[in-house]
Amino acid sequence: MLNARVLLYRYILALSLIALFVTTAYSVSKFARMKGAENAKIINISGRQRMLSQRITYYAYLYSLAADANNVKKGVYAERLTESLGLFEKSHFALINGDDALGLSRLAGIIARDVYFTAPHNVNQNTLNFIRAAYQVIEGTASEYRSEQLDIMMALADRDLLIGLDTVVQTIENFDGRQRSQLEKTETVFYALAILLLLLEARFIFWPSYRSIHDALKEKRILEKTQRALEAANYELEEFAYRTSHDLKSPLISATSLLDLVDQYIQNNRVEEARTIVGKSKTELKRLGLLVEDILTLIRTQFKAQDSKDIKMAELVDDILNKSAYLNPENNIQIITKFTHENELYTRYDRLYIILENLISNALKYADRTKDNAFVQVNTHDDDRALTIEVIDNGLGIPDGQEDKLFLMFQRLHSSAEFNGAGLGLYMAKKCAELINADLEYESVDKHTIFRLIIRHPRPAYKL
């Protein structure tokens, strides 16, 4: 489990790197948009220069004709020519030197610098020659001189300047495409790095954090469960100690009192009465012996370890019935077995034996012998979820209102004078059921008592 401080440092480092990568990717994207907009402006202005060169040539031609004819429109053409020429000249120097008003940086012209300043296009020189010729058309007084300058303008506008400006546009478009592609790749790389870092963060920070929290919660649940189990065990131990001391003390005191009485009878030569009292003493001592045997069985049940094995239900039930035959001496209780489970039962033999021995012996002990059709039935069946064993009888049943005490320690629900026992049988059965991962339930249906042992999580072979 990683130290919380180490996880915190990793988390801070990962967030810082993610922020750096995302910020860089955003900056690259913003720079790409900015450069794309600037390149678009260069292309638009270069295209406008191409159009303006044609317009200036046209107005210079009209102005030259009007000047030769001394036409009144000479001034109008001169004004339009000057206006167009001023915009053309301003745009040219903006492309070369940059212009904040037009949104062009000083580096804008570098992209097409070769086209502007070197042969064969030499756009800068051709543009300056074009501008100079246009001004000389306006300022010239001689018709032949204006005509000569106009020829220069037409030649540039129709050929060299036009080709140069088209080349500038093409150069910018090609550069813009390459630049956009490179910036998009750079942006993708930084976003990919951010995503990769997120994945690494999930693997080396969030996952260890989750495992750490999960393990801590698991340990907490285990501790809480252990604490509850210890509290329950402590309560049971206290109750067990109290009940055991009481139940052990009672037959001992009774036997001691009876033996004192025997001693008096013998001194008074009342032998027959003394023998009767001795018989009662033996009964009390036998009850004490049964109690000690039940306590030892309970202790062995709690702590004895035994491997699971395949269990044949028919053989197990026959063994229990033979052992409990003394409870049905006249054989007037019908025994019915119906085993319909298809899978083998694979569990701890001794604990299943204790459960069924208690359930079957109780069914025989508390049989209603006044009935002609008294019976004890043992059934089994299984499904996809569990294997179920049922012990059913139509005997005396459980007294009303006593159901909650069924599986408690030292609980005798019938008269102890009529039925012997320490009241540990069903408690031991319940504990054994828990130890083999099973549920032991009680139900009363149509005056029939049903104890149902449900062994959960069945497999092709039941391994519990």
Q: What's the pLDDT tens digit per position in 268-316?
A: 888 788 788 787 777 767 766 766 676 666 566 555 555 677 888 888 8
pLDDT attached to residue 9: 75
Mean pLDDT of 234-263: 67
pLDDT, averaged across the chain: 79
Residues 6+ apart with CB under 8 A from 433: 355, 439, 440, 453
Q: What is the CA angle 272-278-279, rounded to 5?
A: 95
User: For a pLDDT cut of 70, what percent of the chain falls above it?
Assistant: 82
pLDDT one-digit tens code per residue, 217-231? 888 889 888 888 777
Which residues face 445 on adjacent strands? 448
Q: How would you classify the pairing of strands 375-382 and 334-339?
A: parallel
CA-nearest of 145, 138, 133, 152 to 66 is 138
pLDDT band at 464 (very low <50, low <70, confident <90, very high): very low
Residue 166 burial (C-beta neighbours within 10 Å; 0-12, 13-18, 19+): middle
Question: In terms of Cα–Cα distance, which of 328, 295, 31 is closest to 179?
Answer: 31
Please give the pLDDT value at position 419.
55
Identify the pLDDT of residue 108: 54
pLDDT recorded at residue 463: 42
What confidence tier does 392 reach under pLDDT thresholds 50, 70, 90?
very high
CA dist., res. 294 & res. 299, Å (int): 9
Q: How is residue 248 written in tokens?
A: 């052990």
Phi, psi of 375, rounded to the nearest 5 degrees = -150, 160
pLDDT score of 241 more than 50:
yes
Q: Does the structure show a pLDDT above 50 at 244?
A: yes
Contact residues for 385 (Cβ-Cβ < 8 A; gap 6+): 456, 457, 458
Residue labelled with tokens 């189990």: 229
How much is the pLDDT for 461? 45
Supply the DSSP symbol for 422.
-
Task: Write the pLDDT tens digit of every residue in 22-69.
Answer: 888 778 778 777 777 777 887 888 888 888 989 999 998 898 888 877
- Please provide residue 79's backbone torsions phi and psi, each rounded to the nearest 5 degrees: -65, -45
Structural domains present in the chain = 4-210 (1.20.120.1730), 305-464 (3.30.565.10)
250 phi, psi to nearest 5 deg: -60, -55
Question: How far is the C-alpha of 231 from the C-alpha of 242, rounded, in Å?
Answer: 17
For 290, residues 6+ apart whose C-beta sits below 8 A from its C-beta are 420, 421, 422
The letter for the amino acid at 125 is Q
For residue range 340-378, what is the model confidence (pLDDT) as tens digits?
Answer: 887 778 888 888 888 898 899 888 888 888 888 889 999
| CA distances from residue 167 to 113, 160, 162, 172, 202 in whole angstroms, order as listed | 11, 10, 9, 9, 52
Q: How far is CA 424 from CA 142, 407, 435, in A?
A: 138, 8, 16
- Chain segment 171-202, per-residue pLDDT in tens: 778 877 887 788 788 888 878 888 887 787 77
Q: Distance (Å, rounded) from C-alpha 391 to C-alpha 377? A: 6
Strand partners, 381: 388
Give first-to-last CA distance, the chain, whole Å. Answer: 32
In whole angstroms, give the CA distance from residue 399 to residue 403.
8
Position 376 scores a pLDDT of 92
Predicted local distance difference test score (pLDDT) of residue 84: 92
Say if residue 152's pLDDT is above 80: yes
307 or 155, which is more confident? 155
Share of the chain above pLDDT 90, in %: 7
H helices of 324-399, where? Answer: 349-365
pTM value surpassing 0.75: no
The b-or-e profile of 289-299 (16+ CB within 10 A means b, else e) is eebeebbebbe
